[in-house]
């Protein structure tokens, strides 16, 4: 279990990047993970060039959900919205760099789900689509 709370996860958890709220977000979305009680809000500021020039996240949750949110903000800042849309579940898992069981997967991916729903209105059903395969 030492592996689980690796240095990079603890670093993001203790020193979250882009924590807080934006004064004038162009996009803002909040999602919940009812199983654990995690709440996550992501604010984005997207300029006329469709570039995410500012981002902030806030909310409550476990170290995994907070660290993954912090990592995600670093991944998307300065990117175009098209580039941000390309980020997938596997990118988050790669950034975390640990084995994640089915229960914690929801924690790890809460930030990505919030981003996708807030950024381009991805529906709950679309988000779940990957899980529908046999």
In the complex, the residues that contact other proteins under the rule CB under 8 A are: 32, 34-35, 101-104, 128, 132, 134
Among 76, 73, 110, 109, smallest CA distance to 94 is for 109
Residue 129 Cβ vs other proteins, minimum distance, rounded to whole Å: 11
Task: Of 112, 79, 117, give the one whose Cα is nearest residue 93.
Answer: 112
59: left (phi over 0), alpha (psi -120 to 50) or beta: left
Which of residues 2 and 134 has its CB atom nearest to other proteins in the complex? 134
Whether 113 and 130 have beta carbons less than 8 Å apart is answered as no
Nearer to other proteins, 51 or 93 (CB): 93
CB of residue 62 to other proteins, shortest distance in Å: 9
Complex with other proteins: residue 17 or 32, whichever CB lies closer: 32
């Amino acid at each position: 279990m030492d592996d689980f709370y690796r240095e990079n996860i603890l670093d993001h958890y203790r020193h979250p990047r882009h924590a807080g709220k934006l004064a004038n977000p162009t996009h803002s979305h909040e999602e919940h993970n009812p199983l654990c009680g995690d709440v996550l809000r992501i604010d984005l500021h997207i300029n006329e060039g469709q570039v995410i020039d500012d981002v902030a996240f806030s909310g409550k949750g476990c170290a995994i959900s907070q660290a993954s949110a912090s990592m995600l903000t670093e991944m998307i800042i300065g990117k175009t919205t098209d580039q941000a849309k390309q980020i997938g579940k596997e990118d988050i898992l790669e950034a975390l760099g640990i084995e994640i069981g089915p229960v914690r997967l929801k924690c790890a991916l809460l930030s990505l789900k919030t981003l996708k729903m807030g950024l381009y209105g991805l529906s709950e059903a679309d988000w779940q689509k990957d899980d529908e395969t046999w």
